[in-house]
Amino acid sequence: MAIGIRTGCLKLDWIEGLHAAAALGFDTLEADVRPDYRNQPLWREEGREALRQALADSGCAMRSLCIGALWSISPASSDPAVRSQAVDLIADAARRAATVGARWILVPITPGGEDVDPETNVSRWLEALRTAAPVARDSGITLCVENVGRGCGRSAAELIRLVDGTASPAVQAYYDMGNAVAFGFDPCAEIRTLGARIAIVHVKDHADRLGDGDVPIAACLRALRAIGYTGDLVFETNPTRDPPRAATYNLGYLRGVLAALDSTPAGVAS
């Protein structure tokens, strides 16, 4: 499994983040698309060129993007203009992400607002995903809906409703084991329920360091292996006051857990 880290965990921009992630030993960097996305590298020709150069120079890949801008530009908004902008952003991000070798786009299932009821949230999200999915498919990108706290995709069942309701191979799940625990769900059970719908995974713990919190990381990794998952594991960890040091510790911890699983005979709990 390739191991990646988000730009926010390093407190760096995309270009600096690629070099730092590579120097720390990560395989890939997940870049956050902010509300001012038009000023970010993928939306400027010179930025795309700088990004391609950084990818080549660092040897670090950028296999996933997170459209964090959807927290302020939601497809479930009560404003039709905002909904339209959100769908355009998702489709445009898919086209642009493909030009730098990305494979997955994290799509946080954001709420439309206090005036939007739960079923309307779901129906608007399904409409948005169905509209953007063909663009993503044609671009070789998978849109990955994540279990986040304030939308209509907190649980495995809710993610399945969105993934299966879109009925496109270009829409899958981005599973966050830490979020599941925070919402009171059993992440191992949810991983088994989602199965092959999981395209990519966030690793986090509710502590400054992996292994110090309440997330059963080793058990989640065993569950992922049991469903045949071989995709990326991306850190969404606490940067602390010293992001490189925190990232280095967490990378060593996760590699240790993976090595222990590799050395454990099939059917034996580690």
Arithmetic mean of pLDDT over the chain: 96
Q: What is the pLDDT of residues 25-53, one digit of tens each?
A: 999 999 999 999 999 999 999 999 999 99
Domain map (residue ranges) of the chain = 3-262
How high is the pLDDT of residue 270? 44
| Per-residue confidence band for 266, with pLDDT thresholds at 50, 70 and 90 | low
Give strand pairing partners of 235.
5, 203
Cβ-based burial of 169 (10 A; exposed 0-12, middle 13-18, buried ≥19): exposed
Q: What is the pLDDT of residues 160-173, one digit of tens each?
A: 999 999 999 999 99
The pTM is what?
A: 0.95
Phi, psi of 99 (to 5 degrees): -75, -15
Architecture category of domain 3-262 in CATH: Alpha-Beta Barrel (3.20)
